[in-house]
Amino acid sequence: MTCINPRVDLAFKKIFGVEENKDLLISLINSVVSLEDQVRDVKLLNPYNARNFRNDKLSILDIKAEGETGKKFNIEIQISDEADYDKRALYYWGKLYTEQLQSGADYAILTKAIGIHILNFTSIPEVKKYHNVFNIREKESNVEYFKDLELHTIELKKFMEEAGEEVSTLLSSVKSKIDIWSAFLTRYDVLNKSNLTGPFNDPDLKKALDVLEIMNLSTEEREEYESHLKWLRIETNTLKKAEDRGREEGREEERMQIARNLLKTGMSVENISLVTGMAIKNIDALK
């Protein structure tokens, strides 16, 4: 067991964004992308190291990598639901794509750029599934013509809601490698590496849990980690309060509608108050 939360961006990069754990990054990428975009090896374009962290804390916590065929990947975990996140994701993808082209170079050298955005919140409420893939297609024929753009969103909150709190339900919900990585990021606290069964009996997952267990943070890294963890907790509490408030508002609206219907039948305000639990003055206001 460990107290380090892998959803905090600093810890995430120390797990997946270092040379000694490239196999974990390859496993994560391959769990997300299609068969044609699978990688056998990657080159880290911005590997994590303590010196870079001290010099430039704000820009190093995404992971940029290049596959053996030249395809570019940007992997990022997003702690909080920032405004205009969709625009930010496109901007990051645009930089990943355009940075390939040096002055005077031919456009033919440009290769596919894939953004993988792991989100600690729900960004696409219209869609139930937690992993979604976006690219550019013709509106009517659905033909994919501009094939170099691909963005993946992995909404961990949806995964947690589907998997549930119990280990047994978590185990039954895991069907693929991306499910395993999502379980690692969200339920690392209940995964015992010495007793992993079924789909969790996975060498990559075991190594990730080992890395998490022995991870050491410098004083400076610990301060940054705690700061980011605070934002993670605030975001979680804010979302819970919003959900609770939404449920209460829904119940209040339901009570008001029942009261309106009962008023139409001629029932007394006093009896409506007994039925709905609403204050008499609030029922009078509905008249």
**Strands laid side by side in the 63-67 sheet:** 42-44, 63-67, 72-78, 113-119, 149-155, 131-134
How far apart CA 272 and CA 266 sit, in angstroms, is: 10
Per residue in 183-233, pLDDT tens?
999 999 888 888 888 889 999 999 999 999 888 888 888 888 887 777 666
Q: Is 43 in contact with 83 (CB distance < 8 Å)?
A: no
Amino acid identity at 235 = E
Q: Residue 238 — very low, low, confident or very high, per pLDDT cuts 50/70/90?
A: low
Q: 104: which DSSP letter?
A: T
**Higher pLDDT pick, 264 / 40:** 40
Look at residue 176 in the predicted model and tell me its pLDDT: 94
What value does the mean pLDDT take over residues 80-109?
A: 86
pLDDT above 90: percentage of residues in the chain: 48
Look at residue 229 in the predicted model and tell me its pLDDT: 79
How far apart CA 36 and CA 186 sit, in angstroms, is: 28
Q: Residue 1 — very low, low, confident or very high, per pLDDT cuts 50/70/90?
A: very low
Q: 95: which DSSP letter?
A: H
What value does the mean pLDDT take over residues 71-86?
A: 86
Q: Quick check: 93 pLDDT over 90?
A: yes
For residue 116, list its beta bridge partners: 75, 152
- 21-25, 143-147, 179-183, 250-254: lowest mean pLDDT where? 250-254
Q: What are phi and psi of 267, to 5 degrees?
A: -65, 145
Look at residue 236 in the predicted model and tell me its pLDDT: 60
What value does the mean pLDDT take over residues 78-102?
A: 86
What's the token pair of residue 182?
């999502």
Residue extents of the structural domains in the chain: 9-216, 250-286
Per residue in 160-173, pLDDT tens?
988 877 777 888 88
Q: Quick check: 153 pLDDT over 90?
A: yes
Q: How many helices, marked H, and strands, marked E, lie in the chain?
A: 11, 6
**Higher pLDDT pick, 253 / 134:** 134
pLDDT above 70: percentage of residues in the chain: 87
Computed from CA positions of residues 199, 204, 205, 206, in that sequence, does the dihedral angle turn out positive or negative?
positive
- Average pLDDT over the chain reads 86
How far apart CA 31 and CA 82 sit, in angstroms, is: 26
What's the token pair of residue 89?
């994701």
Per residue in 41-64, pLDDT tens?
999 998 887 666 655 554 557 899
Q: What is the pTM of this model?
A: 0.77
Q: Quick check: 239 pLDDT over 60?
A: no
How far apart CA 99 and CA 150 sit, in angstroms, is: 16
Nearest Cα neighbor of 14 from 65, 67, 64, 63 is 63
Total length of the chain? 287
- 109-118, 139-148, 174-183, 211-220: lowest mean pLDDT where? 211-220
How far apart CA 283 and CA 287 sit, in angstroms, is: 7
Amino acid identity at 140 = E
Look at residue 273 in the predicted model and tell me its pLDDT: 84
CA distances from 207 to 28, 54, 185 (A): 13, 27, 13
Q: Residue 142 — very low, low, confident or very high, per pLDDT cuts 50/70/90?
A: very high
